[in-house]
Chains A and B, each alone.
Chain A
């Protein structure tokens, strides 16, 4: 008897919970459709939350970084002021699905344009040309890619950068892989590895954090070309064109350069000139 009561109660709770989530889902859909109509609604933009200099959620809940600045500018051109933006974390593995499901309208999250991804989403931009590079200690002697053989290198498990090192640049280098770049930087600081490799923009962001200022430098090797684009849902040409126009304007009115200086400045990062929309550097 007692057991039956418990079962009934838990069933009721479950039903309540289910209906509550159903409501939540509905209202989310509503706001999504109204925002796509433009005007008073909100816009959801996907960024990284864990990449200093590009997309970082600060402890106080605000967002900072180059991707954030670019997305804010673009959103403004689309008719959404900064307070109408809802930031959504889009991890690398989830970016294509977040766009196709309609969870986010735009993605500005160190999203390199490549052919496989272009089958699934459309890219506006590129808005930044980054290169795979090395972050090394201030007094390190590494100056070209062949110096890497025999050195200890660190990157993130599964990342394109880690694969590039193994396949192309330095097959004889020791590659240590961690789940995130913070672990690699800790290893670089303690001397367990000689260099950390990924896009120079990401490395510059980490190196210009206050706790690391002045300890590291970029090697400036330009090991690859990474064209960062803004991801838009496949075949949403209207939005794509508007974003491209916004990016062009951002470069021409000087806001682009200002955002670069603000976010990558302290690490001695030499940025490429602003890329032209539609021109992908292979």
Chain B
């Protein structure tokens, strides 16, 4: 009786896991299947039918060229690189002074960053738009970059956590050798923070790559399209060519898939650390 109960529970466990996995995969898998079909084939077959030719990449070429996806990737890369480099630097600097020095106003500073995260970004967008406009940054790459640059408390927290594990005697011995605080930060602290930096890069990188709202609102100019906005443009004109839209979806997803498979371990840690405040 016990074994029966046990195996029934085990069966249920695996059944739900398989169902969950199917639920996660099927919506993506059907898009992949459709992306390999010809227009006539797409029209005559159902979404679950396998494509006749698994190597029919003509939709991909079409989506890539017509959707100017290369431009989208270029703009995304520029924005991601600058914002992440900046956010890592400013975040680690903030964490360094907050963790290593006790000074008047450090609590206030910390509180100000914390309070800012409680303000949902979407609520202040209308006013932020006016600020970007008056800085004459509308329709430039600097608009999203500046907004992503903003030091968020999560990054500061992650850095501070790591800084706690770096012994202060390391700083002190460097000071005995006459190193300046800048040298300590740049030569000792920053290299030792690299695991935290990887975490911040992943969490921020995924967010920026996937963000639609900011580039859509602040960079409507077509020369400045990023991957999200390039993909969104398929909505109207390709209404009847779902096989091309599906290829475009896959083009936007593939970099994420590659990053996920190769960085899996770091990504898990990154998200677990990044989200637990």
Does A associate with B in a complex? no
